[in-house]
Amino acid sequence: MFTRAIVRRPGTNFAAGLTTVDLGVPIYERALEQHEAYCAALERGGLQLIRLDADERFPDSTFVEDTAVLTRACAILAYPGAPSRAGEVTEIASALAPYYSQVHSLQPPGTLDGGDVCEVGDHFFIGISARTNEAGAGQLSAILAQAGYTSQCIDIRGVEGILHLKSGIAALSHRRLVVIDALAPCPEFQGYDLVPVSADEKYGANCVEINSRVLIAAGFPILAESLRELGYETIALDMSEFQKMDGGLSCLSLRF
């Protein structure tokens, strides 16, 4: 059960951030509205929000998930793979300090974005991607092992159309994984109950279970119906402006 989440308001220079897609320039006012709706959904799920002000130094800083990996035992500060984002970690460390007695930090040459880390109970999948390298994944795996967790690395560099591992996978209760078609054959996912996501709905795979509810991006009716048939209560949120900047639902908060 999550009780808190860290969120950060998008800055006025949000559109100057990094993106690998060509979906147009995000409309700032609409991004603010969508972000506030997202925050309201987290609160409906029972989370107390720690709201950070926009940081105009870092256009991508609303995507706070990439700055840390949070477990019940400890917090691990990431080392973002994009050099322009490295400075985001400092303020996140300050925000986490009151809640964690054990805080670890990844070190170069290792790089790691939190969006490449998917927690499934006491097990973690770590994506090797354009932003997370083998050295960063290895450091994280060692820290997790010391804390009593297991982990596996999955190389997604050959998977077209996803930036992070969690662009194509989400963990739900009951050992279920929402997985895009391109990742479904991975042997690491054997033994899990897979909820498939077709190529034309793959953005929807980045959903987030918040206690008794699942937040999903609006506009993906097949996935939404699949989740409802499995008994999940879903909340659909418009994510159009964040999708333009390679962002998804999980990217916008650090939940613990």
Which band of pLDDT confidence, cut at 50, 70 and 90, is reported for residue 227? Answer: very high
* Residues 5-26, mean pLDDT to the nearest whole number: 98
pLDDT for residue 190: 95
pLDDT for residue 223: 98
CA dist., res. 180 & res. 101, Å (int):
36
- pLDDT value at 236 more than 90: yes
Mean pLDDT of the chain: 98
Which band of pLDDT confidence, cut at 50, 70 and 90, is reported for residue 195? Answer: very high
Query: Which residue bears the tokens 């490295």?
Result: 86
Query: Which residue bears the tokens 């170069």?
Result: 108
Label residue 121 left, alpha or beta by phi (over 0 means left) and psi (-120 to 50 means alpha): left
CA dist., res. 240 & res. 32, Å (int):
12
What pLDDT digit, counting tens, does each position of 83-99 carry? 999 999 999 999 999 99
CA dist., res. 51 & res. 148, Å (int):
30
pLDDT for residue 1: 87
Is the whole model's pTM more than 0.95, yes or no? yes
CATH topology of domain 4-255: L-arginine/glycine Amidinotransferase; Chain A (3.75.10)
pLDDT for residue 212: 87
CA dist., res. 113 & res. 28, Å (int):
24
* Residues 51-79, mean pLDDT to the nearest whole number: 98
Give the rounded percent of residues in the chain with a pLDDT score beyond 70.
100
* Residues 182-195, mean pLDDT to the nearest whole number: 97
pLDDT for residue 77: 98
- pLDDT value at 52 more than 90: yes
Catalytic residue numbers, as ranges = 164, 251
- pLDDT value at 166 more than 90: yes
